[in-house]
Amino acid sequence: MEAGETPSGGLGGELDRIESAVDAGDTDLSRLGFWRLVALIKRDDELIERYAQQVGRIDAKAFRVGVRIRIPVWAGNLLMAVGLAIGFGGFVLAAVRGTHNFTFEYDAPLAGIGLLVAAGAWDVAVHSPTHWLVGRAVGMRFLSYFLRTATAPPGLKTDYASYLRTSPVARAWMHASGAIATKLVPFLVLALASVTGIDAPGWAIVVLWVLGIGQIFSDVLFSTRKSDWKKVRRELAVARARERIRAGA
């Protein structure tokens, strides 16, 4: 079935087939043709209204089977808040031991470590909450935080029914928001260090610049093909397709 082709059994019949397969334990949604159907549904408001609930239900079922480590959204946001607090503590350490305005003795290594702790903690902790804030602002709901592997950063699972019911441009902004927030963190730490007068050691400044620029290059090389920026491009393509359909109507 091509991307723009309606399945011979009808969308409803195909979704029923896929949902039955998922209920039977087959959660390979790509192989089942689920995402090709979703791509068709995204282009038409009437199809979205008719099938969004079932699409969201199928996606959630497959997600629950495929991802074992899940926690409620409120608990995930609380953990991210702890991460933000750890980053703030690191920055306070850098400010206290990296300036000459306090009674503590100046300690360049501690100042550098504090800045890197701030950057590392904020880098992890701002990503998913930014997705959540922007998503909630445009009407999306979320199911849970999750970990696919022990070394992967935490993810935030959307409720796909509410995701479909928002505009493709809004969906693109939701995906972009977390990526943008993460990329800004090292430069924000550098700016705050400069504004607050932290006399950071050169090695810490170099590491922060490498982290900031490295993340940008990583996004350019990889994220446009498999992560947030891939999804941004996908949803903007949907927006353009919908405009073409409206123009031709």
Per-residue pLDDT tens listing for the chain (249 residues): 444 455 545 899 999 999 999 999 999 999 999 999 999 999 999 999 999 999 999 999 999 998 989 999 999 999 999 999 999 999 999 998 887 666 678 888 999 999 999 999 999 999 999 999 999 999 999 999 999 877 777 899 999 999 999 999 999 999 999 999 999 999 999 999 999 989 989 999 999 999 999 999 888 877 667 788 999 999 999 999 998 888 875
Q: Which two tokens stand for residue 46?
A: 């009437």
- Name the residue with tokens 């479909």: 164
Last residue of a domain, one of 32, 66, 100: 66
CA 235 from centroid of its chain's CA atoms: 14
Residues 175 and 212 in one domain: yes
Residues 19 and 117 in one domain: no
| Domain assignment of residue 35, given as a range | 1-66
Residues 39 and 98 in one domain: no
Cα 29 from Cα 142, distance rounded (Å): 20
Cα 11 from Cα 17, distance rounded (Å): 10
Cα 142 from Cα 53, distance rounded (Å): 14
Residues 5 and 115 in one domain: no
Last residue of a domain, one of 51, 66, 81: 66
- Name the residue with tokens 């980053």: 87
Residues 59 and 76 in one domain: no
Residues 61 and 152 in one domain: no
- Judging by DSSP bridges, how do beta strands 142-147 and 69-71 pair with one another? antiparallel
Global pTM reads: 0.87
Last residue of a domain, one of 66, 89, 120: 66
